[in-house]
Amino acid sequence: AQAGHEIAISQEQMERIGINLVAVESAQSYVTDHLPARVSIPPQQARVISAPRGGLVTAMTAAASDEVAAGTILAHIESPGLVGLQRELLEAITQLRLAQAELERNERLHRTKTISEQIYLESRSSLDEAAALVDERRQVLKLAGMPPEAVANLEQARQMSSTLEVRSPIDGVVVEFPAVLGERVDDSAPLYRVARLEPLWLEISAPLDRLQGVQPGGSVEIPCDSGEARVELIGRNVDPANQTVLVRAEVKGAGNCLRPGQFIEVRLQLNSTVEQFRIPSSAITRIGDTPMVFVHEAAGFAPVSVKIIAREGQFSIVTGGLAAGWKVAASGIASIKAAWTGRDGG
């Protein structure tokens, strides 16, 4: 707490001791020290492209960092199982045609009272079942990687193929391709990972005691000439190993500077509703465990206790009984402290 009395030091003594005065600045907005951050891809912007059916990888048309458009063919797979699925569709179509012919025949017989209504209804039910089976076989082929136009061509030309074309579902960049040309892969084996790289995320490890003033939407300083980063999320969990909290920021327009997996240093902008001040760290001394500064007054200095909130290089952000524009001693602190403690019998 403020001592409530002045430490008498004249202007001449200040010059002789080498006491320099620095004005107290308001610091409602300031930035943290450099904090480690990892650049990552938002999960909603990435797709894992897998083999729809097991088979032999006979061609791969893209490599890491290649840009691909949605629909681009990335790989060819020779899949014997695909032929079986196509055969099942053609058989289902044949059964559908037979069921249709049977229904038309029974409709004519039913109109002439030659067959019972029960037989006629059974033929309608058989047609519905055959149509449902054809739809099912079509969907199975589409899930196996055959595009709709290829399925339609199969139904018309009735020519089967064992080659699957694996396509990119989105515009993006190839970030991984774990498959190897010439190897056999199982159903759903990963072949490629494609992602959009705009925007990116920064996963910042912020010490627990630096979170005061961090707010969603706050600015983040990044080591790039272009791009803008803003806080998107403040984690709720603390890493027990290092007592840090995840602060996630979204980065836009920094694609030429930042790359997924890169580690960088950033600074968070902090805002506070409590009045805060920026002073040189050299102006702070300690009396016991209490940080103190010496405020210049008419005939000397008055000790004022402060609380250190953060550090900015050679400056500290503090709260306490100060006001913007006041002047504090930034050098010669030991002499002022000695005069104060000596007079008080310390």
Q: Maximum Cα–Cα distance for the chain, whole Å?
A: 129
Can you tell me the distance from the alpha carbon of 290 to that of 313, in angstroms, rounded to the nearest whole number?
21
Report how far residue 84's alpha carbon sits from residue 144's, in angstroms, rounded to the nearest whole number.
11
Answer whether 0.75 is exceeded by the pTM.
no
For the chain, the 3-state helix, strand and coil shares in percent, each to the nearest 5, are: 30, 40, 35
Nearest to 251 by CA among 41, 32, 34, 66: 41
- In residues, how long is the chain? 346
Angle between helices 80-111 and 117-143 (to 10 degrees): 160
| Ramachandran region, residue 21 (left: φ > 0; alpha: ψ -120 to 50; beta: rest) | beta
The closest of 209, 222, 194, 200 to 46, measured between CA atoms, is 194
pLDDT by residue for the chain (346 residues), tens only, comes to: 344 467 888 888 999 989 999 999 988 777 778 899 999 999 999 999 999 889 999 999 999 999 999 999 999 999 988 899 999 999 999 999 999 999 999 999 988 888 888 998 999 999 999 999 999 999 999 888 888 888 999 999 998 988 999 999 999 999 999 999 999 999 889 999 999 999 999 999 999 877 877 889 999 999 999 999 999 999 999 999 999 999 999 999 998 899 999 999 999 987 777 788 999 999 999 988 899 999 999 889 999 999 988 777 788 989 999 999 999 999 999 999 888 877 544 4
Q: Which residues lie below 8 Å from residue 112, measured CB to CB, with a gap of 6+?
A: none
